[in-house]
Structure 1
Amino acid sequence: MNIALRQLKVFVTVAQELTITAAAEKLFLSKPAVSMALSELEKQLGHKLFDRNNNRLLINEQGKRLLPLADELLARSQDIEQLFNQEGPITGKLKIGSSDTVGNQVTPFLLRDFRQESGHCDQSLFIANTAQICHMLAEFELDIGLVEGKVQTDNLTVIPWLGDEMVVACHPEHPLAQHHTLTLAELEHSQWILREPGSGTREFFLSRLAPRLEHWRQAFELNNTEAIINCAAAGLGITCLSRRAVDHAVMDGRLVILELPLDMQRQYWLLLHQEKYQSPLLKLFVSFCQQWQLER
């Protein structure tokens, strides 16, 4: 059996893109070339790796067994290719996924410090909600995830990271803002501006605040934190967000934070696929994240 790295690259890309057309575009190959490489690999292995459903290819159990091994071989080959192309011991590209709050408020400064200390500058950053970051890690599209949402999945290693504080905020002239201190009962019948399902911020509201309220209404559901801040600043409702996210709006006088008799602390997490090959670069970044946490 003589499996080529080219075949494994095609296999991994098809697994991530789900169609021959999308994989061909990403690989800058023709569709016949992608189909042929995949067929050759399946013939050599003696197993189909995908279930065909119209034009979509859904990875099957045999394919899922191969995916982490293929990802590791491609990562190791990249390490070899770049071994003599970059000064210093750290080579390769690091693919980082961050959920919205972490990605906008924390990760840019983490990467700044990592680049200064390590000299490594080849990283990509993808920002989405926690559910999407978990999905991309499961498909080996990312190397590491930095998220604030609750994660319940068997194939990811979940490592506690930074702490965070959530707050309830509203326009300075909102009726609730006129109270020096509030009880949770005074939040009843409020209009809430919330993140979308799959967001760690929404999950916090639904698990920590909503069960303590008998009557609440969602006024808006948005997938962008800054849009939520602007809606709250426009007086369209109240919101529950990270203090890190709203601090600038509070300093500008557009929002005020409501003091509540409730523990509003939450946890950020580092996520790694349990079968992901941990290159020297990935190990260094994980170690740096953990040390960076201690310095905050």
Structure 2
Amino acid sequence: MPSGTRPGMPARDRANTAASRSKPAPAREGAGARTRVTLRQLEAFCTVALTGSVSAGAQRLSRTQSAISLALQELESALGARLFERAGRGLRQTDAARRLLPKAIELVERATELPAIAGDLAASARHLAIGASRTIGPFLMPELLAEFTRRDPNLSIELVIENTGTLVARIRDLTLDLAFIEGEVLEPGLSVQPWMNDEICLFARAGHPAPRALANGRWVLRERGSGTRETFLRAMQPLIGTPGIAMEVSDPLALKRLVAATDWFGCLSRMAVAGELRDGTLRDVTPRTAGLRRALTRSFWLVSHPQRYRSAAADALLAHARAA
């Protein structure tokens, strides 16, 4: 006789009792549902995705590596998807992670804006990751950012100074909010807006023995991937062909000092050599033809990724830059 039935119990009652015991117990509220996704998990995911490793993410968030790893495991369990794969000493995002990242960044950054929306401005510390190419970074960004941050003392800014190619790659990978770029941006799918114009200046040391012998001279140029280099080579091709390159340098200050100490020629943004031209350390040797001057004039660009959430702080910085 089935357990729970009594002698003499009607057959129908015995059948109902047996059927009720064969059904699963009603689930408690929330039982069997996936774990809820938390902002702490999403913050860990975004940081690891953008830094490339658990250790770097833990350092950025001031958490232990085990805490970051646990948050990632919980998030993967909640989503039912693997987010990272091992790649040497770091981690590589899966397709699921790449799809999730833009929305996860938006959720985390919107959460940081909540105190400001609620009116507690003192508690709303915000962060921007900004890129600038090697001309814009040292010669335009200090004054621009100093004035901007005076209006918003709770804003922290990470300024990354690299060449155009590197900054475009970082915008594509969503690791920068915005980039101020001097070179031509050919990457499809990015938002590219003109900012201001700039002129390339050709220069030599003050006592150069043959300041007009540009075709026969040796040149110190910026590194490959530099917007300054690309503009120079394109503009000078009809005039001197392929220049003789003595050295490639990624730092504008080092380039200026090399030219000042040798009989080599150099090229940089005119704003980068304005001080040396004024004090006579360097001399301008740019040919005065109108066509060449036009060819040596280029645009600076404001570049972002359409899928990267643009916070109120990023929008404010863009407006400030356009008004400068």
Matches within 5 A, 1:106-145: 106-115=140-149, 118-120=151-153, 122-124=155-157, 125-145=159-179
Matches within 5 A, 1:207-226: 207-210=234-237, 212-226=239-253
Contact kept in structure 1, 2:233 and 2:242, CA below 8 Å: no
- Tell whether 2:312 aligns with 1:285: no
Aligned residue type for 2:71: A
Contact kept in structure 2, 1:15 and 1:139, CA below 8 Å: no
- Tell whether 2:276 aligns with 1:249: yes
1:46 deviates by 1.7
Contact kept in structure 2, 1:189 and 1:215, CA below 8 Å: no
Contact kept in structure 2, 1:91 and 1:281, CA below 8 Å: no
Other-structure match for 2:222: 195
Contact kept in structure 2, 1:82 and 1:92, CA below 8 Å: no
- Unpaired runs of 5+ residues, structure 2, are 1-33
Tell which has more relative contact order, 1 or 2 (C-alpha 8 A, sep 6+).
1
2:126 to 87, 92, 100: 92
Q: Distance in 2 between matches of 1:57 and 1:287?
A: 36
Aligned residue type for 1:247: A
- Structure 1 residues 135-178: Cα deviation after superposition (integer angstroms, max 9, x where no partner): 3323333221111111121242000011101111011222332x
Aligned residue type for 1:221: E
- Tell whether 2:301 aligns with 1:269: yes
Larger C-alpha radius of gyration, 1 or 2?
Answer: 2
Q: Distance in 2 between matches of 1:17 and 1:176?
A: 49
Secondary structure of 1:136's match? Answer: helix
Q: 1:267 to 1:176 in 2, by over 3 A?
A: farther
1:210 deviates by 4.2
1:8 deviates by 1.1
The percentage of aligned residue pairs carrying the same residue is: 33
Aligned residue type for 1:275: Q
Q: 1:61 to 1:211 in 2, by over 3 A?
A: farther
Other-structure match for 2:188: 154
Q: Distance in 1 between matches of 2:144 and 2:182?
A: 15
- Unpaired runs of 5+ residues, structure 1, are 180-185
- Structure 1 residues 190-215: Cα deviation after superposition (integer angstroms, max 9, x where no partner): 21111112221122223322464335
Q: Distance in 1 between matches of 2:94 and 2:131?
A: 25
- TM-score normalized with structure 1 length: 0.87
Q: Distance in 2 between matches of 1:123 and 1:20?
A: 23
Contact kept in structure 2, 1:194 and 1:239, CA below 8 Å: yes
1:284 deviates by 2.1
Alpha-carbon RMSD across the aligned residues, in angstroms, is 2.3
Q: Say how many residue pairs are matched.
A: 283
Other-structure match for 1:164: 198
Q: Distance in 2 between matches of 1:236 and 1:50?
A: 53
Secondary structure of 1:170's match? Answer: strand
1:42 deviates by 1.6
Aligned residue type for 2:306: Q
Secondary structure of 2:229's match? Answer: helix
Q: Distance in 1 between matches of 2:323 and 2:78?
A: 45
Q: Distance in 2 between matches of 1:110 and 1:91?
A: 20
Aligned residue type for 2:225: G
- Structure 1 residues 110-132: Cα deviation after superposition (integer angstroms, max 9, x where no partner): 2244345x445624222222222
Q: 1:111 to 1:19 in 2, by over 3 A?
A: closer
1:236 deviates by 4.7
Q: Distance in 2 between matches of 1:47 and 1:236?
A: 61
Q: 1:155 to 1:55 in 2, by over 3 A?
A: same
- Structure 1 residues 60-92: Cα deviation after superposition (integer angstroms, max 9, x where no partner): 2211111110110111011114544426xx973
Q: Distance in 1 between matches of 2:88 and 2:320?
A: 45
Contact kept in structure 2, 1:194 and 1:220, CA below 8 Å: yes
